[in-house]
Amino acid sequence: MKGKFLKELEVITKISQRIQKQEELRDALQEMLIMAKDAYNIGNGIVLINEDGKLKTLAIVGYPEGVFDLTFDIKSGQGIIGFSAKKRKTIVVSDVAKNPHYILGIPDTKSEVAVPIIIKRKIIGVLNFESPEKNAFKKTDVKNAQALAAVIGFMILNFKTQKELEKMVKRLEMLTKATTRLNNTVRLSNTLSAIVKVIKDYFGYKYFDIMLKDDKGDLVPIKTSKDFPINVIKNFKANINRGEGLTGTAAKLGEIVCVNDVAKDKRYIPAIKDIRSEIVIPIKVQGELIGVLDIEDPELNRFKRDDIKILSVLAIEIGIAIQNASLYEKTKELATTDELTGLANYRSFRDYLDREVKRAERYQKSFSLVMFDIDYFKQYNDQNGHDQGNVVLKRIGKILLYNNRSVDLPARFGGEEFVAILPETSKRGALAYAERIRKVVEKTKFKGESRQPNGRLTVSGGVAEFPKDGNTSAKIIKAVDTACYEAKDSGRNQIRGFNELH
C-alpha cells in the first residue's frame, strides 16, 4: 500500500510529464495550477514572478479575471505575497481579516498561504493560494504547496532545457520505486540485497559497494555489486580517522566526495581496472555516520550535479533501511519477545511503534494500530486454571503470527491484551485484518470454552490510524484502547474503529 509520500511524488511526476507538452512557460504553469487544484484541493492559485523587485502575475486559476492586475513590492513586503517574498519563508494566514499584511482581493477570501519560490538563494517568485474558508490550509496542504513551489522553481530554471526536465521526471520515478522497494523488507540481509538491486536496476551503476563502520573506526565492505571483483574487496578496510582513500575521506569529512577524473586525485586508491570516476556518499542515521556508499565508473566525468542530488536522497533512504533492519536484528538478538506467546513483548512493541511514528512523520505516511482483548478471560482462568489460560494465550499468539505480513509487528501488550502494528495500512484495511483475526479465534476450539458467557472463547478489538486518530505513540495507543473498550462495552466479540464508534 502506497503511503502519502509516494502518492505526492506520483502527482508531482504526472504534473512534470504534462507540462513537457506545453511550449510556453505561462501555459505550463497554468496547466500545473489546474492539476494541483484538482489533486490537492488547496484553493484558488496564482504564480507571481519577480521582475526587478516587483511580483507580477504569470499564471492564475480560480480567480475572477482582472483580480490580480496589481503588483507587489518585495522590498516593502506589500501584502501577504510580498511579505512572504521579503521574509523568504512560507506565510500561512488562518484569518486574513486579522492579518495586517493582507490586501483585499476577493471579498470572500478568509485564509491564505504564500510560498516563496527560491532558486540558488534568489527569490524568483511566489506561489499563492486563497480559500473562502477560515483555517483552510492544514499542515499537509502547506507541505503540498511547498512541494509544488519547488517544482515551479525547477520549471522556471529549466523549462527551455527539455532533456533536463525529462531526466528529472525519470529520476523522480526511480526514487519512488526505490523507496518502495527499500521499505518492503526488515531483515538486514534482505535489506542489503534490496539496496544492491535498487542501485543496479534503477540507477544503472555497475561497480559499487556498501561499507559500514565497525567498532574500530574502519570502513568494512558488507555488500557489493555482482560485478565488483571479489579479490579487490577481500580484506579491504579504510580507516576513517586517517581518511584513507576517497571512502575514508568522505567518512572523515561527513561529506560527499565526487571525483570525475581519479587519475588527477592523489587520494584515489586504484582497485578496479580502467576506473575513471568515483563518488562516495556518507550514510548517516540521525546525523551519525554508519557507513558509505561507494560507486565507481569507467566513464570520465560520469557523475553530474543531478546524480549527486538523487544519490544524496538515496543514501538517506539506505540509512533508514539499514537502521530499521539493524534494529530488527538487534531485537532478535536481545530476545525481546514474550516468553509465553513468542510475540514481541511490550518493550519491543514500544520501540517499533516509536520508530514507525518517526518514519510516518518523515514521509507523511500513515499506519494502523490494532488491539485485541480476550473476552471474560478472568472467568476463563477461574474455571479452567491458569495453565489452561496460558494455553489460550499461546494459541492466540500463534494465530497473530500466522496472519501477518513480514512488515507487521504483532505483540503481547500485557495480560490478555495483544496489539499489532500495520505499516502503511489504512483504518479500513486494519478493520478487515482485525475482523479476520476475530473470526479465526471464534472458530478455534478451546478447552472449557462452553462455560464462557458467550458459549465460546472470543476476542474484542479496536483499531486506530496514525496520525488521524493520534499523532504520537501515546495518543495512538490511547485511541486504540478506547476503541477496544467500546467493543467490549457494546457486547464483546466485535471490532470497533476509533471515531467510528456507535
Residue 343 and residue 293 share a domain: no
Question: What SS3 state is found at 497?
Answer: strand
Among the listed residues 429, 426, 431, the one whose alpha carbon sits nearest the alpha carbon of residue 468: 426
The stretch 187-209 carries a mean pLDDT of 79
Residue 380 and residue 308 share a domain: no
Among the listed residues 69, 88, 65, 91, the one whose alpha carbon sits nearest the alpha carbon of residue 80: 91
Range 221-224 contact pairs with CB under 8 angstroms and sequence separation of 24 or more: 222/192, 222/291, 223/192, 223/193, 223/195, 223/196, 224/196
In this structure, are residues 119 and 156 in contact, taking their beta carbons and an 8 Å threshold? yes
The stretch 331-360 carries a mean pLDDT of 83
Residue 349 in grid coordinates: 512493541
Among the listed residues 167, 168, 163, 136, the one whose alpha carbon sits nearest the alpha carbon of residue 150: 168
* Domain assignment present for 502: no
The stretch 200-206 carries a mean pLDDT of 81
Residue 147 and residue 190 share a domain: no
Instruction: Evaluate the CA torsion angle 467, 472, 476, 482 in order and state its sign.
Output: negative
* Domain assignment present for 358: yes
Examine the fold and report which residue of 311, 330, 349 is the final residue of a domain before the chain moves on.
Answer: 330
Distance CA(345)–CA(494), nearest Å, equals 24
What CA–CA distances, in Å, run from 435 to 160, 233, 426, 446, 462?
Answer: 55, 51, 14, 19, 10
Residue 242 and residue 214 share a domain: yes
Question: Could you tell me the pLDDT band of residue 22, with boundaries at 50, 70 and 90?
Answer: very low
Residue 5 in grid coordinates: 509520500
Residue 7 has pLDDT above 60, yes or no: no
Question: What SS3 state is found at 396?
Answer: helix
Among the listed residues 32, 75, 33, the one whose alpha carbon sits nearest the alpha carbon of residue 52: 75
Residue 492 and residue 361 share a domain: yes
* Domain assignment present for 83: yes
* Domain assignment present for 103: yes
* Domain assignment present for 315: yes
Residue 377 and residue 311 share a domain: no
Residue 213 in grid coordinates: 563502520
Distance CA(323)–CA(63), nearest Å, equals 48
Examine the fold and report which residue of 290, 311, 330 is the final residue of a domain before the chain moves on.
Answer: 330
Residue 323 and residue 181 share a domain: yes
The model's pTM is: 0.39
Which residue segment(s) compose the domain that 64 sits in?
A: 4-160
Q: Quick one: what percent of the chain has pLDDT higher than 90?
A: 42
Q: What is the pLDDT of residues 421-448, one digit of tens each?
A: 999 999 999 999 999 999 999 999 999 9
pLDDT of residue 21: 47
Question: What SS3 state is found at 461?
Answer: strand
pLDDT of residue 300: 92
pLDDT of residue 490: 92
Distance CA(209)–CA(215), nearest Å, equals 19
pLDDT of residue 315: 84
pLDDT of residue 272: 83
pLDDT of residue 446: 95
| CA-based R_g, the chain, Å | 28
* 90: CATH: 3.30.450.40
Domains identified in the chain, total number: 3
Residue 179 has pLDDT above 70, yes or no: no
* Domain assignment present for 245: yes
Residue 352 and residue 313 share a domain: no
Distance CA(341)–CA(397), nearest Å, equals 5
pLDDT of residue 16: 56
Which residues make Cβ contacts (< 8 Å) with residue 13, sequence separation at least 6? 169, 172, 173, 176
pLDDT of residue 162: 52
pLDDT of residue 5: 46
pLDDT of residue 160: 46
Residue 220 and residue 351 share a domain: no
Is residue 29 exposed (0-12), middle (13-18) or buried (19+ Cβ within 10 Å)?
Answer: buried
* Domain assignment present for 48: yes
The stretch 311-323 carries a mean pLDDT of 82
Rounded to the nearest integer, the mean pLDDT of the chain is: 84
* Domain assignment present for 145: yes
Distance CA(361)–CA(467), nearest Å, equals 8
Residue 325 and residue 341 share a domain: no
The stretch 139-165 carries a mean pLDDT of 74
pLDDT of residue 443: 95
Distance CA(291)–CA(32), nearest Å, equals 40
Least confident of 39-53, 99-113, 124-138, 403-417: 39-53
Residue 305 in grid coordinates: 550535479
Examine the fold and report which residue of 283, 299, 330 is the final residue of a domain before the chain moves on.
Answer: 330
Residue 497 has pLDDT above 90, yes or no: yes
Which of residues 157 and 311 earns the better pLDDT score? 311
pLDDT of residue 374: 96
Residue 348: which H helix or E strand, with range?
Answer: helix 346-363
Residue 178 and residue 97 share a domain: no
Question: Could you tell me the pLDDT band of residue 195, with boundaries at 50, 70 and 90?
Answer: confident
Q: How many helices (H) and strands (E) does the chain have?
A: 14, 17
What CA–CA distances, in Å, run from 465 to 105, 140, 348, 479, 489?
Answer: 39, 16, 20, 9, 21
Residue 167 in grid coordinates: 531526466
pLDDT of residue 224: 84
* 371: CATH: 3.30.70.270
What CA–CA distances, in Å, run from 165 to 171, 306, 474?
Answer: 10, 11, 44
The stretch 286-315 carries a mean pLDDT of 87
Question: Could you tell me the pLDDT band of residue 126, with boundaries at 50, 70 and 90?
Answer: very high
Residue 154 and residue 283 share a domain: no
Distance CA(234)–CA(290), nearest Å, equals 20
